[in-house]
Amino acid sequence: MSFASALCYHFPVMSDCLFCNIIAGKIPAKKVYEDDRTFVFEDIKPQAPTHVLIIPKKHIVDIKEATEADAEIMGYCQLVAAKIAKERGIERGYRTVYNVGPDSGQSVFHLHLHLLGGRKLSWPPG
Ligand code: 5GP
Ligand code: ZN
């Protein structure tokens, strides 16, 4: 078994999913953190000094497709974001965002939590 497939042993890779392929190491990304349930990497088009994506290793399309069985991992992604925000020293103000559906700007259909910080963030968001 290759290292990449070992990482995803418990989570089937959707071969046509960009983020499943990043988790599997088939598409390169700047990894920030990884544990048994999540993978974190730098956004390719950062919108703030810190802009990372926290994704579950399990392929979940988005919040509206999630089930109660996915509730824990969606909350756990928030805790991973908080840990990274602390490490990056951006606790003065950061934002975690799950975009849901095309009108929100969602463009990748594997659940991902944006962590944005390191600059003043306006409200309401656009
Ligand atoms: P969404 O718009 O779906 O909420 O967020 C998708 C995010 O994925 C965007 O912020 C986009 O810049 C990022 N993204 C898209 N393709 C890639 C890629 O190939 N690599 C990385 N690291 N980020 C990507
Ligand atoms: Zn996926």
Q: What is the pLDDT of residues 36-55, one digit of tens each?
A: 999 999 999 999 999 999 99
Which pLDDT score is estimated for 125? Answer: 92
Nearest CA to ligand 1 atom 2: 106
Q: How far is the CA of 114 from the centre of ligand 2 (A)?
A: 16
How many Å is the Cα radius of gyration of the chain? 14
Query: Is 112 a known active-site residue?
Result: yes
In 3D space, the residue among 77, 42, 41, 75 whose CA is nearest the CA of residue 56 turns out to be 77
Is the confidence at residue 5, as pLDDT, over 70? no
Q: What is the pLDDT of residues 92-107, one digit of tens each?
A: 999 999 999 999 999 9
Q: Give Cβ neighbours of residue 99 (< 8 Å, ≥ 6 apart).
A: 62, 105, 106, 114
Q: How far is the CA of 50 from the centre of ligand 1 (A)?
A: 14
Report the SS3 class of residue 24. Answer: coil
Mean pLDDT, residues 2-29: 78
Whether 78 is in the pocket of ligand 1, judged by its Cβ within 6 Å, is no
CA dihedral angle for residue 68, residue 18, residue 32, residue 47, rounded to 10 degrees: -100
Q: Which two tokens stand for residue 44?
A: 């390719």
> Catalytic: which of 59, 110, 112, 114?
112
Supply the pTM of this predicted model.
0.93
Which pLDDT score is estimated for 126? Answer: 85
Whether 43 is in the pocket of ligand 1, judged by its Cβ within 6 Å, is yes
Whether 120 is in the pocket of ligand 1, judged by its Cβ within 6 Å, is no
